[in-house]
Chain A
Amino acid sequence: MNNNKGTVPQYPPCQAGCPIHQDAQEYVRQISIGNYDKALEIISEVNPMPSVCGTICAHPCETECRRKDVDEAVSIRALKRFAVENGSWPTVNKAQATRTEKVAVVGGGPAGLTVAKDLVQKGFAVTVFERSSEAGGAITNFIPHYRLPMDSMRNDVSRIAELGVEIRTGVELGKDFTIDELSNDYQAIVLAMGLPTSKGIPIPGSDAKGVMLALPFLNEAKYNNFMFEPGSHVFVVGGGNVAMDVARAAVRCGAESVQLACLECRTEMPAFEWEIEEALEEGVIMFPAWGPKQIITADDGTITGMEVQEVLSVFDEHKRFNPKMGDKKNIIEANVVIFAIGQGNDNLSYLTDFGIELTDRGILNYNPRTMQTTRPGVFACGELVFGPGSAVKAMSTGRKTALAVQSFLDNVPFDANLADQFTTFNDLSESTVEKVKRIDRIHVPVLPAQTRAQHNDHVEIGYDERMALCESRRCMDCAAGAECIDDICAVCLTCLRTCPYDVPHIDENGVFTIRNEECQACGLCVGICPASAIRFRDHYAQHALDQMEDALKLAAQNGPATVVFCCSYGAFAERDFLNYINNGRPTNLAIVRVPCVAKVEVAKILEAFDLGAEGVFVAGCSEEEECTYQNVSKWASQRVGRAQEILEQLGLEKDRVEHLTLSLDEVRNFAPVAEGFLTKINHVLNGGGGESE
């Protein structure tokens, strides 16, 4: 959803939190109605690496998800993976070359590939120069197989290549070509080499045999079937995500034991909680708040252990990194030490010969507003200039850099600070939080710890269809729902009394408002507002209801037509049901899936009869506990009751309209239910219906 107010878009919190502003709300909604193809299309439109993000994204969208105030955030990342694995990929159409300029991108990681994809879609010719044998950057080189299968990354890269991006692998800047040579052929150059070098710590013993660095170890483990010698006891230094990767990879590389220490205490460890948990499950022993003091070696230079020292605090009162050590010390036995305490860039001094200046610390002298280095036309992005971060963060810097490059080649000014402006919604009010139904997050199934640590298979199993459909319904559709049309609102307060979530509100000054940002999009107010003064900010509900006319006309070609309004969610979104209604239903049955049957108004039922329907069924499901909405059956039933009264006043049989709550099994085996509808209507048409005047 992009609710443009003036020139600054307003995003739901998930979309605002995503560095590339992926429209999570919309694709999650498409998943919830079983439209996995559309979900993947939405994802692919914005995201250059959907498979990768569906699998390993740091998901800042979930951090911002307002559901976390109610229970837990929606599992957006896992839903993306579900869409990736269950939707049909949209066809890649090779981008039209509309520009004469060529752009070189050095580094084929997430940042570089994003720049390349965006620029090729803007009509430029783009070549990516990647020094590894395969593009993908850190994702390809270091992320273990058990976290990200190669196929995921390869699929994303190949789709970028199919767009027309030329990817040259095995070529390295500074060795195989220079900046000047690139400048001869390319009108703009983007440096996106990442941070491919692991750091160590210069403590006593750090040059001992058996000391390794995280990234080379991960690369060896990933590509060269690296295995530890029998009897290896591995000690990992670091508490971040790379340290977890290292520890878990070490378990899989045959270590007898894997122990890990980090400065941070358990709650301050920078790694994802789930990854810490999974590492613990796989047998990694952790010593949080213990810092490395020295590596102890035997006379022959081999490692025998690590002396660690107690850490009292890592950050000072100004939240600066300033560890305070205690007096306690301890020696942990180990014969292999792997440092996983941070990354840096390669030696970039070769660039200074070409007008690209470095700072005293050996990093690029970079203007974050123009996104250029000190050599005009040479840009930089990703971790190389923005520091360690997630893949999606790197992509976002790539996206912005593409805009900067385009502006440069168009000879128009560019300011990165102005390139990504947006607003989002406030937190939910306490009164709404209290009233939203609690629905447990469905945790993503993983392989059992006992067996998964013995191989490199993908640990995360992922959602099945039922799980994805249920989890996607936990989305609160932030602000997609009710807004008041003030000009025609009679301020009757019917909505205020009907809303289960305290969205319509009278403030302390007696002013009535519908607080759209609090809305959960159940639509009860829309259905009951006597002035028709409430509409949805997003139009999906109306679009769904609008399908009735065409569906009915089509059905009427095949006999007396009956309309079934049914829910779009849960079992009504499963493949089997959709397959039945698309291909197997009786042809005179018009099935209209609506985002909650409580949104079907009496007038809509009458409209069906006005358009020639002989009967109307409103079919919800009996699994109310699973449903995000409240009182659905009650309202659907009351509306149908009202429609029945009206029909009777018109001299028509009330049995022509019925509300049903179907069990999951009935929805999944819909053929007899549908036949039942037609039998009932035939019975009425043959004079056997209910009362008639």
Chain B
Amino acid sequence: MIVGERKPLQEIIKAVEPFEKILVLGCGECVTVCMAGGDKEAKETALAISVARKRAGKPVEVKSHTIERQCEFEYLEAGRKLIEDADVIVSLACGVGVQTMNMHYEDMRTLPGINTTFMGMPFQQGVWVENCLGCGNCVLEETMGICPIARCSKSMLNGPCGGSQDGKCEVSKETDCGWHLIVERLMKFDKLSALEEVKPPKDWSTSHSGGPRKMIREDVKL
């Protein structure tokens, strides 16, 4: 899923300063699951804006609402009345949702209320970790199900760098070395010899480096 975290409230409050009727719009999917932009966060954010504006002597009308999935035009329709009634929308969806909102409601400003951070999973309650970069050419089969692109800070393909120490990455002692994990798992399956094969340089054209991507399935098009 897509993981994000709420922007610092001061940033949000500054962004909505010129507006008098604000709608904080949560999204019911990924950002709900990662507890950044669901209904509860939307209510909290709306209240925080309201408190700040009252304290600043400029009270403002702030409402909150949650859309099932902000990255779908059809779901966005469901909130039309509330949306059009506002001066500005603070979307707590990921960047995809914010853009879908701006596409669908062209005459309305929709501002981002969260920073979209990565694709990942809840490693434990309250802790989310990055697992995938969306490179467009999956190599997980070769690396025993641990992604060297996402989980190695340098996205290396032929084994760990010299900065791997005690299983940790030189970038941060909090970060596991992805290649250390891969090697351990290769050993577990007695496949360490696979590392002897030298991988050619990765073709990054399938990743974002090849420009914004698009996927088409002709068989399901209307």
Which residues on A are within 8 Å of B, measured CB to CB?
488, 490, 492, 494, 497-498, 529-533, 601-603, 606-607, 609-610, 646, 649-652, 693
Set B32, B38, B48, B50: member contacting A646, Cβ < 8 A: B48
B9 to A650, Cβ gap below 8 A?
A: yes
A601: chain B residues within 8 A (beta carbon): 40
The answer to whether B125 touches A490, judged by C-beta atoms less than 8 angstroms apart, is no
In the assembled complex, B29 has its CB within 8 A of some CB on chain A: yes
B residues apposed to A, CB below 8 Å: 8-10, 13, 28-29, 32-33, 35, 38-41, 43-44, 47-48, 50-52, 54-55, 66, 125
19 intermolecular pairs with C-beta atoms under 8 Å apart? A488-B66, A490-B28, A490-B38, A494-B33, A494-B35, A494-B125, A498-B125, A529-B40, A531-B38, A602-B44, A603-B43, A606-B47, A606-B48, A610-B47, A646-B48, A650-B10, A650-B48, A650-B51, A650-B55
Q: Report A231 CB to chain B, min CB distance, Å.
A: 76
Q: Please tell me which one of the listed residues B10, B33, B48 contacts residue A530 in the complex, with CB atoms under 8 A apart.
A: B33
CB distance from B216 to the nearest CB of A (A): 29
A693 to B13, CA, bound (A): 14
Q: Which residues of chain B come closer than 8 Å to A609, judged between CB atoms? A: 47, 51
Q: How far is the CA of A151 from the CA of B40 in the complex (A)?
A: 55
Closest chain A residue, CB of each to CB of B13? A650
Taking the nearest CB of chain B, how far is it from the CB of A546, in angstroms? 15
The answer for the CA separation of A253 and B136 in the assembled complex, in Å, is 95
Are A649 and B10 within 8 A (Cβ)? yes
Q: How far is the CA of A652 from the CA of B9 in the complex (A)?
A: 12
- Which of chain B's residues have a CB closer than 8 A to the CB of A498? 125
A693 vs B48: C-alpha distance when bound (angstroms): 15
Q: How far is the CB of B31 from chain A (nearest CB, A)?
A: 9
Asked if A530 and B52 make an inter-chain contact with CB atoms under 8 angstroms apart, the answer reads no
Q: How distant is the Cα of A532 from the Cα of B35 in the complex, in angstroms?
A: 11
Do A490 and B29 touch (CB < 8 A)? yes
* Known A492-B32, A652-B55: A532·B43 in contact at CB below 8 Å: yes
A208 to B51, CA, bound (A): 90
A649 and B13 CA atoms in complex are apart in Å by 10
Given A532-B66, A610-B47, 11 more A-B residue pairs with CB atoms under 8 Å apart are A497-B125, A498-B125, A530-B38, A531-B32, A531-B38, A531-B40, A531-B66, A603-B43, A606-B47, A646-B44, A693-B10
A652 to B13, alpha carbons, bound, how many Å?
Answer: 14
The interface residues of chain A lying within 8 Å CB-to-CB of B43 are 532, 603
Q: Are B51 and A610 in contact (CB under 8 A)?
A: yes
Docked pose: A693 CA to B10 CA in angstroms = 10
Q: A690–B199 Cα gap in the complex (Å)?
A: 56
CB distance from A203 to the nearest CB of B (A): 72
A497–B122 CA distance with the chains assembled, in angstroms: 11
Residue among A492, A494, A530 having the largest count of chain B Cβ atoms under 10 Å: A530
Q: A490-B32, A530-B33, A603-B47 are in contact. Are A650 and B52 (CB under 8 A)?
A: yes
A602 CA to B46 CA in the complex, in Å?
A: 12
A634 vs chain B, min Cβ distance (A): 12
In the bound assembly, the distance between CA atoms of A610 and B66 in angstroms comes to: 21
Q: Which of A601, A610, A651 has the most CB of B within 10 A?
A: A610
User: Shortest distance in angstroms between A61's beta carbon and chain B's nearest beta carbon?
Assistant: 38
- A646: chain B residues at CB < 8 Å are 9, 44, 48
Instruction: Report the minimum CB–CB distance from A608 to chain B (whole Å).
Output: 10
Q: Nearest chain-B residue to A648 (Cβ)?
A: B9
Contact present for B28 and A531 (CB under 8 Å): yes
Which 3 pairs, one residue from A and one from B, show the smallest C-beta to C-beta distance? A530-B38, A606-B47, A492-B33
| A650 to B, closest residue via Cβ | B52
A532-B39, A650-B9 known; A488 and B28 CB under 8 Å?
yes
Residue of chain A at shortest CB distance from B9:
A649
By beta carbon, the residue of chain B nearest A496 is: B125
Which of B8, B54, B55, B125 contacts A649 (CB under 8 A)?
Answer: B8
- Bound-complex Cα distance A529 to B47 (A): 18
Residues of chain A within 8 A (CB-CB) of B52 are: 650-651
- For the complex formed, measure the closest distance between the CB of B65 and the CB atoms of chain A, giving whole angstroms: 11
Bound Cα distance from A191 to B47, whole angstroms: 66
With A603-B47, A606-B47 as given contacts, are A530 and B9 in contact (CB-CB < 8 Å)? no
